[in-house]
Chains A and B, each alone.
Chain A
Amino acid sequence: MSQVIFFIAAIGAVAGAIGVVTMRNPFYSVLALIVHLVSLAALFLLLRAEFVAAAQVVVYAGAVMVLYVFVVAYVGGGEQVPAGAVLRVLGPLFGLALVIELWIAILGSALKGISSKGAPYRLGFGTPQHIGSLFLTKYLFPFEIASILLLVAAVGAVVLARRRRGLEPPGEAFELQIRAPRPAYTGTMAEGADTNPAADSPSVEEIVEQLAGPTDGPRSGGGW
């Protein structure tokens, strides 16, 4: 029974991986990667790694893939441009050489454990309880480093993807919005002080510059 599940999951994982590489549209590549990840979670379950399998489905196939789908939808993806002629031939050849080399290294190593079914099963192997106690005792330091890494990544992503001032010059609509005459009794400060706002107020260009920063300053070419 476990052999049938292994072959179904392995074929799913490899087919998903091939789908990621060969699909023309990045959106379909993301969907193929989800198939791959779920099949891989089944393989993890066969290896008695229950917690890793659950994390794979929840974190990877759930959260990370949603992020991918959003970015593909935002950027558009479009048609993929294939690589140059040299890489298009050499890439698969390199992959083939790599897999043959790895297979020779793995199967030719004559390790006794590789041809066995693994160590005898201990009760509770791979459960959240064991993983959690390892994380909080033996691997406490990597655990803390990992949380700091996640924090840095989250802050970094926000900094990288934020909208920069001066990236786009304020358009016509913004200027018109300022220039538009306000109806009487709209409650502006100028009305309250009973002055004529048009007489000594700064010009529209100055207001735009104050609000949106210098339009031809050093940052206008993009804020990198």
Chain B
Amino acid sequence: MAIGWYLTVSALIFAIGATGVLTHRNPLVILLCLELMLNGANLALVAFARMWGGEDGQIFALIVMLVAAAEVTIGLGLIVAIYRRQLPVDVDELNELQG
């Protein structure tokens, strides 16, 4: 398959993830949609690595996966802490850090 097909799919996944981030209020689902966006970017990185025939893009993709894992750990820790304080798990209500 031509590389363009992979890039098409990656753009579609990225846009679906962005839509999810915008339309959800549950931070758990927003984190899941962030994963979707990162995965779309990863697919593009690996596709470009294949296009150039170098492994540098794959290294990038691995590091993106690692950063995503760290982000998920912190995000889920925050959600558990919010839940323990019996605050609503809803990003529209959690606006105390806003300016």
Residues of A that sit less than 8 Å from B by CB: 2-3, 6, 10, 13-14, 17-18, 20-21, 26, 29-30, 33, 36-37, 40, 43-44, 46-49, 51-52, 55-56, 59-60, 63-64, 67-68, 71-72, 74-75, 77, 80-84, 87-88, 90-92, 94-96, 98-99, 102-103, 106-107, 113-120, 122, 125-126, 130-131, 134-135, 138-139, 142, 146, 149-150, 152-154, 156-161, 163-164, 167, 222, 224
Q: CA of A213 to CA of B82 in the docked complex: distance in angstroms?
A: 22
| B94, CB-defined interface residue at 8 Å | no
Please give, as numbers and ranges, the residues of chain B lying within 8 Å of A74 by CB-CB distance: 80, 83
B3 x A114 contact (CB < 8 A): yes
> Which residues of B from 3 to 47 have beta carbons under 8 Å from A?
3-9, 11-20, 22-26, 28-29, 31-33, 35-36, 39, 42-43, 46-47
Q: CA of A96 to CA of B77 in the docked complex: distance in angstroms?
A: 32
B72 x A68 contact (CB < 8 A): yes
1/0 contact trace for B57-69 toward A, CB 8 Å? 0110111011111
A125 x B23 contact (CB < 8 A): no
Please give, as numbers and ranges, the residues of chain B lying within 8 Å of A60 by CB-CB distance: 65, 68-69
A94 x B73 contact (CB < 8 A): no
Interface residue from B26, B42, B78 paired with A26 (Cβ < 8 Å): B26
Please give, as numbers and ranges, the residues of chain A lying within 8 Å of B36 by CB-CB distance: 17, 20-21, 33, 36
| Chain A residue at minimum C-beta to C-beta distance from B54 | A119
Q: CA of A26 to CA of B85 in the docked complex: distance in angstroms?
A: 21
B16 x A113 contact (CB < 8 A): no
A135 x B59 contact (CB < 8 A): yes
**What is the interface of chain B mostly: helix, strand, loop, or mixed?**
helix
A77 x B26 contact (CB < 8 A): yes
B76 x A67 contact (CB < 8 A): yes
B55 x A131 contact (CB < 8 A): yes
The number of residues on chain B lying at the interface, defined by a beta carbon within 8 Å of a beta carbon of chain A, is: 71
Please give, as numbers and ranges, the residues of chain A lying within 8 Å of B6 by CB-CB distance: 43, 47
A6 x B4 contact (CB < 8 A): no
Q: CA of A82 to CA of B92 in the docked complex: distance in angstroms?
A: 11
Please give, as numbers and ranges, the residues of chain B lying within 8 Å of A20 by CB-CB distance: 16-17, 20, 29, 32-33, 36
CB distance from B32 to the nearest CB of A (A): 5
